[in-house]
């Protein structure tokens, strides 16, 4: 029994889909005198170009996330340093560790503030600012020191918002890429059917127009996302691979 023509599936990597589309469109172009094949080639070329451009846009979107992720990491580092510096300032003002000022500002130490990452740390820093307001009577320097913490917290919030916006943009670009891939798969399958109808019972001629398809067990690098660190509750989860 004759085996059916190989077709790419949703598990076929995007790069392979593009290569398959380019191959078949180029071979169809060799038979431009045949109006049916010419029409098929134009439709397949449009679908392949659409997948190529949407894949590039998605890849560019993922790359654009890198400086935004760096920005969050850096403000986290800076904020931790600012909180530790504040604790040292409180100890100097108290002339000892765990004095009245230090205890008022850090009742549970600095760990609950600097250990979290992202929105959780921002919440903890806001709570620290509130305690600094309450400690003004104990420590006249509290308002000036609070301004430093507030500046770091505001920078942290800005970096988080920029990263979240970038991640949402990347997710939108991925959705568009996935839609373009579905469209390509439909067009490719239609192309195979029309070529088979054009050359019935001529398997050698049918095979001429199609390169070999080898599905990947897992998606390749271009289908991967690194927008979110696994297990980080402050980061929206990435879109699942196709």
Average pLDDT over residues 159-168: 98
Domain holding 209, by residue range, is 14-223
Domain-embedded: residue 116: yes
* pLDDT beyond 80 at 18: yes
3 state SS of 172:
helix
Could you tell me which of 119, 122, 75 has the C-alpha nearest to residue 236? 119
Average pLDDT over residues 108-126: 97
Domain-embedded: residue 58: yes
Domain-embedded: residue 123: yes
CB-based contacts of 151, cutoff 8 Å, min separation 6: none
Average pLDDT over residues 11-21: 96
Average pLDDT over residues 16-27: 97
Does residue 145 contact residue 85 with C-beta atoms inside 8 Å?
A: no
Domain-embedded: residue 210: yes
Model confidence over 192-236: pLDDT tens digits? 999 999 999 999 999 999 999 975 444 444 554 444 443 443 444
Model confidence over 65-110: pLDDT tens digits? 999 999 999 999 999 999 999 999 999 999 999 999 999 999 999 9
Q: How far apart are CA 114 and CA 111, in angstroms?
A: 5
Domain-embedded: residue 2: no
Could you tell me which of 239, 240, 241, 236 has the C-alpha nearest to residue 69? 236
The pair of structure tokens assigned to 2 is 């004759």
The pair of structure tokens assigned to 149 is 């913490």
Domain-embedded: residue 199: yes
User: Taking all residues of the chain, what is their mean pLDDT, rounded to a whole number?
Assistant: 90
Domain-embedded: residue 236: no
Confirm whether pTM is higher than 0.85: no
Residue position matching structure tokens 């549970």: 108
Model confidence over 171-190: pLDDT tens digits? 999 999 999 999 999 999 99
**For the chain, what is the domain count?**
1
The pair of structure tokens assigned to 92 is 């100097």
Does residue 238 contact residue 225 with C-beta atoms inside 8 Å?
A: yes
Domain-embedded: residue 151: yes
Q: How many Cα atoms within 13 Å fall on the side-chain side of residue 158?
A: 10
């Amino acid at each position: 029994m004759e085996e059916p023509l190989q077709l790419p599936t949703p598990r076929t990597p995007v790069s392979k889909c593009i290569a398959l589309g380019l191959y078949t469109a180029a071979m169809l172009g060799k038979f431009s005198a045949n109006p049916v094949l010419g029409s098929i080639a134009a439709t397949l070329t449009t679908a392949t170009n659409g997948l190529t451009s949407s894949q590039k846009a998605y890849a560019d979107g993922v790359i654009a996330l890198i400086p935004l992720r760096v920005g969050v990491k850096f403000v986290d580092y800076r904020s931790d340093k600012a909180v530790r510096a504040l604790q040292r300032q409180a100890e100097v003002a108290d002339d000892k560790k765990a004095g009245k000022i230090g205890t008022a500002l850090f009742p549970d130490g600095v760990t609950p503030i600097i250990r979290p990452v992202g929105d959780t740390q921002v919440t903890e820093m806001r709570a620290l600012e509130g305690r600094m307001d309450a400690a003004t009577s104990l420590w006249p320097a509290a308002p000036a020191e609070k301004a430093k913490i507030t500046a770091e917290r505001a920078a942290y919030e800005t970096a988080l918002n920029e990263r979240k916006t970038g991640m949402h943009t990347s997710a939108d670009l991925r959705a568009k890429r996935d839609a373009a891939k579905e469209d390509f798969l439909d067009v490719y399958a239609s192309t195979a059917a029309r070529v088979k109808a054009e050359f019935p019972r001529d398997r050698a001629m049918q095979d001429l127009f199609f390169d070999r398809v080898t599905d990947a067990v897992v998606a390749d690098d271009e289908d991967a996302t690194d927008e979110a660190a696994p297990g980080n509750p402050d980061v929206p989860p990435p879109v699942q691979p196709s």
